[in-house]
A = this chain, B = another copy of it.
Amino acid sequence: MSKDPLVVFTPSGKRGRFPSGTPVLDAARKLGVDLDSVCGGRGICSKCQVQPSYGEFSKHGVTVAPDALSGINAVEERYDRIRGLKPGRRLGCQAQILGDVVIDVPPESQVHRQVVRKAASARAITMDPATRLHYVEVAEPDMHVPTGDFERLSTALREQWGVEGLRADLAVLTTLQKALRKGAWKVTVAVHTDGGAPELLAVWPGLHEGGIYGLAVDVGSTTIAAHLTSLETGEVVASAGIMNPQIRFGEDLMSRVSYAMMNPGGDAEMTRAVREALDKLAAEIAVEAQVDPATILEAVFVCNPVMHHLLLGIDPVELGQAPFALAVSDSLRLPAKSLDLTALPAQARAYILPCIAGHVGADAAAVALSEEPGKSEDLVLVVDVGTNAEILLGNTTRVLACSSPTGPAFEGAQISSGQRAAPGAIEAIRIDPVTRAPRFRVIGCELWSDEDGFAEATAQTGITGICGSGIIEAVAEMRLAGLMDENGLNGSPEATGCDRMLAEGRTYSYLVHDGSADGGPVLTVTQGDIRAIQLAKSALYAGARLLMDEMQTETVDRVVLAGAFGAHISPLHAMVLGMIPDVPLDKVSSAGNAAGTGARIALCSVAARREIERVVREITKVETAIEPRFQEHFVAANAIPHKTAPFPELHKIVQIPNVAFGAASEATGRRRRRR
C-alpha cells in the first residue's frame, strides 16, 4: 500500500490517514475526536474503549478488513480478564491502526458525553465539568535538581496533559508527598479550571477509581434540595432535601430581612443556620450515596437574592428597600470552606450563579439556564413558584425577568387547613357541579376519596390538611361549582343551595372533609383562605402581565411551570384561578425543579457557567416593587375570572352561569357543568 491507512470515527465523522501502527487513541487526539482517557494511553483507565466496525461501509467509503487493527494484546487481555470488556470493544490506546477502519466512540467513552434529562422537552446536558481527573507519572526527586514534589507534578501535568500554571491550596499540598510515594510517582489528580489558573483539588496514589462528585444545591426560602452528581458522567447518585432552618426567623423573605433589621447579629444567626443545614445535608447525602466525602470536590448553589446574601454572610437589609441593591451580582467562585462546608474537603470549590437583580436571583438565572427562554422561537412564560415567584418571559429576540412576592400561600402556609405537601395532605380536589360534594386524593394514595378502599388506604396517614396544589384546585373548583362569585366571595348555603357552605362569622366556608368522628380534623376552605390565594395568584399574574406589557403582547405561546409546586399544580385549575395567562392546555408544561436543574447544568459544564453569566447581562429586569402598573395589574387580577374552564373545546367543559354573592355583583341563574 502506498497510502497510510484511513480511519473514520463515528459518530463525529472525523477522518484522517495515519501511519500503520498508530494507536487509535493517538489518531483520535490528532483529529480532535472526543475520546476520553484519564491515564493518557497507559492502558489502565479503560476510559478510551472503542468499537471498531468490520465489513463494508459504503456510507463512509471504507472497506474494513478483519485485520485492520492489531490483535488483542496482553494489556487488553488482562483488562478483559479482570474487569471484562464488552464484545467487540477495544482499548483505544492499545489497538493499533493497520488498515482502513471505521471506529465508533460509544457515548460512555466521550468526554463531552450528553446527559439525558428527564423532561423530554429539555435539551441534554453536555458534560464539560470544571474538575477533571488526570492520571500522571511524576519524575522522582533528584538531589541535583532540587525542585519540589509539587513543581515536578506541575511539570508532568503540563507535559502529559497540557495543564499550564497549576496552583494548589495548602489543604491539598499537604497530602501530595504521601500520595506520590504511595503511588510510586504515579497518581491521579483532580484539576479544577474555571476561568482562572488550573487548581489542584485532589491527589490519589495510582489510578483513582472512586469517581469525583459535585453537589448541585437549590437553596430555597422554605426547602433546600441537593443533588449529588458524578462529575464524570453527570449522573445524579443521590438527592436529598431538608427544610430551610431559617424558617424560624421568618416564613417569607421579607420577614427574614426584617429579622436582620430588628436584631443585631440576626443576619449572622441566619447565615449560621443555613450553612449548618447545608453542611449536614452534604454529609448525609454522601452517606446515603455511599460516596467518600473526600471525592466531593465542587458545589454549585442557586438561590434568591436574600438567601444568596445570607448564604454568603452578607447583611440582606439593602434588599428590603429601594433601590434593592445587591452587594454582589456576578457569579462567584469561592473555596467551599468559606461557606463553612466542612463535610467537603477543605480545597473543594463552590460556584454561585449570578443574580439577575435585587429581586431576581441566582435561582431565576438557573431557571433561565435550564429552560433557555432566549433560545425559544415561541414566546414562553416560565414561572417558578415558591414563596417568591420568579418569572421569565421571552423568545430569541429578548428575555424579561421579574420576581413577585406571592407569599407562602401556594405552599399551604397561611391557609386555615393548609399544610406542606406530605403524606396525608389533600393534593387534588374535584367538586361535583350538581351535588357540590367534593372528592379528593391525598398524598401517599392513588385512589380518589369516592373509590373503594380509600378509607383503608389512608388509614395510616389519615387526612391531615390541604397542601398547595389542593388549595388551588379547591378554590378553582368552588368557582366552577358556583360556590363563589368572581370577586372570590363565598356564597351562603341559601344563595348557593349547598349545605356544605358553613357560616363562620359573617363569611362562609366550604366543608371539604369532616374527620371529627374519627378524631381527625375538619378541613374547610374559608373566606380567608380564598383571600390569601387571591393575593398570591394576583401577585403572580400581575408579574406575568407586567412582563407581557413590557414585551407589548397580550398573549403568550406557552407556559412552563417550574418548581416543586409547578410540578404538582393542575394547569387547568391554575388558569381557572387566573394565576397564569390563558393558553391551550397542551402548551402548559412542567419543568420540575428547574432551578435545581440549572444548578446541575452549571455543575457539569463550565461552558454553561459562561453562558449564564452572559445571558443574565442580556436579560431585561423589571422591578415589580416600584412599577405602578404592577399595582394596577395586581388589583385587576384579584378576580377569579373564569366562570368556566378556559378553552372548553379542548376540555369539554360547558359554560356555567355567572354567580355573585356580594353587593358588587349580581346573582344570576346557573347551569350544569360536565367533566
Q: Which residues of A contact B (CB under 8 A)?
A: 140-144, 146-151, 168-171, 173-174, 176-178, 196-197, 312-315, 318, 322-330, 334, 338-339, 355-358, 360, 621, 623, 626
Show 25 residue pairs from A and B whose CB-CB distance is below 8 angstroms, ordered by the A residue: A143-B322, A143-B323, A143-B623, A146-B324, A146-B325, A146-B326, A146-B329, A146-B356, A146-B358, A146-B360, A146-B621, A148-B326, A148-B327, A148-B355, A149-B327, A150-B329, A151-B329, A151-B330, A168-B328, A170-B312, A170-B338, A173-B312, A173-B328, A176-B327, A176-B328
Which of B177, B313, B324, B360 is close to A174, meaning CB atoms less than 8 Å apart? B313
Q: Is the CB of A325 within 8 A of B148?
A: yes
Most B CB contacts (10 A, CB to CB) among A146, A338, A357 go to: A146
Q: Is the CB of A358 within 8 A of B621?
A: no
In whole Å, how far is A548's beta carbon from the nearest beta carbon of chain B? 19
Distance of A623 Cα from B170 Cα, bound (Å): 27
Please indicate the chain B residues that have their CB under 8 angstroms from the CB of A338 in the complex: 169-171
In whole Å, how far is A622's beta carbon from the nearest beta carbon of chain B? 10
Q: Is the interface of A mostly helix, strand, loop or mixed?
A: loop
In whole Å, how far is A293's beta carbon from the nearest beta carbon of chain B? 20
Please indicate the chain B residues that have their CB under 8 angstroms from the CB of A177 in the complex: 314-315, 318, 325, 327
Distance of A146 Cα from B402 Cα, bound (Å): 12
Of all chain B residues, the one with the shortest Cβ separation from A625 is B143
In whole Å, how far is A265's beta carbon from the nearest beta carbon of chain B? 13
Of all chain B residues, the one with the shortest Cβ separation from A176 is B327
Q: Is the CB of B169 within 8 A of A326?
A: no
Please indicate the chain B residues that have their CB under 8 angstroms from the CB of A196 in the complex: 196-197
Q: How many copies does the complex hold?
A: 2
Q: Is the CB of B357 within 8 A of A146?
A: yes
Q: Is the CB of B329 within 8 A of A148?
A: yes
Which of B144, B147, B322, B358 is close to A329, meaning CB atoms less than 8 Å apart? B147
Contacts known (A150-B330, A169-B338); A174 close to B143, Cβ less than 8 A: no
Distance of A315 Cα from B355 Cα, bound (Å): 43
Q: Is the CB of A626 within 8 A of B358?
A: no
Distance of A358 Cα from B147 Cα, bound (Å): 8
Q: Is the CB of B314 within 8 A of A173?
A: yes
Please indicate the chain B residues that have their CB under 8 angstroms from the CB of A326 in the complex: 146-149
In whole Å, how far is A21's beta carbon from the nearest beta carbon of chain B? 38
Of all chain B residues, the one with the shortest Cβ separation from A177 is B327
Distance of A338 Cα from B197 Cα, bound (Å): 19
Q: Is the CB of B323 within 8 A of A148?
A: no
Distance of A327 Cα from B170 Cα, bound (Å): 11
Distance of A150 Cα from B327 Cα, bound (Å): 6
In whole Å, how far is A604's beta carbon from the nearest beta carbon of chain B? 24
Q: Is the CB of A328 within 8 A of B623?
A: no
Please indicate the chain B residues that have their CB under 8 angstroms from the CB of A626 in the complex: 143
Please indicate the chain B residues that have their CB under 8 angstroms from the CB of A171 in the complex: 338
Q: Is the CB of B174 within 8 A of A325?
A: no
Please indicate the chain B residues that have their CB under 8 angstroms from the CB of A174 in the complex: 312-315, 327
Contacts known (A313-B170, A314-B173); A328 close to B148, Cβ less than 8 A: yes
Please indicate the chain B residues that have their CB under 8 angstroms from the CB of A151 in the complex: 328-330
Seed contacts A148-B327, A150-B328, A151-B328; 8 additional CB < 8 Å A-B pairs: A141-B325, A143-B358, A146-B621, A148-B328, A150-B327, A169-B338, A170-B334, A177-B318
Distance of A318 Cα from B150 Cα, bound (Å): 14
Distance of A365 Cα from B586 Cα, bound (Å): 73
Of all chain B residues, the one with the shortest Cβ separation from A322 is B143
Please indicate the chain B residues that have their CB under 8 angstroms from the CB of A169 in the complex: 338
Of all chain B residues, the one with the shortest Cβ separation from A170 is B338
In whole Å, how far is A509's beta carbon from the nearest beta carbon of chain B? 41
Most B CB contacts (10 A, CB to CB) among A173, A176, A621, A623 go to: A173
The 4 A-B residue pairs whose C-beta atoms are closest, nearest first, are A148-B329, A141-B325, A146-B357, A148-B326
Distance of A323 Cα from B140 Cα, bound (Å): 9
In whole Å, how far is A585's beta carbon from the nearest beta carbon of chain B? 35
Please indicate the chain B residues that have their CB under 8 angstroms from the CB of A329 in the complex: 146-148, 150-151
Of all chain B residues, the one with the shortest Cβ separation from A333 is B167
Distance of A322 Cα from B146 Cα, bound (Å): 11
Q: Is the CB of A323 within 8 A of B142?
A: yes
Please indicate the chain B residues that have their CB under 8 angstroms from the CB of A142 in the complex: 323
Of all chain B residues, the one with the shortest Cβ separation from A147 is B329
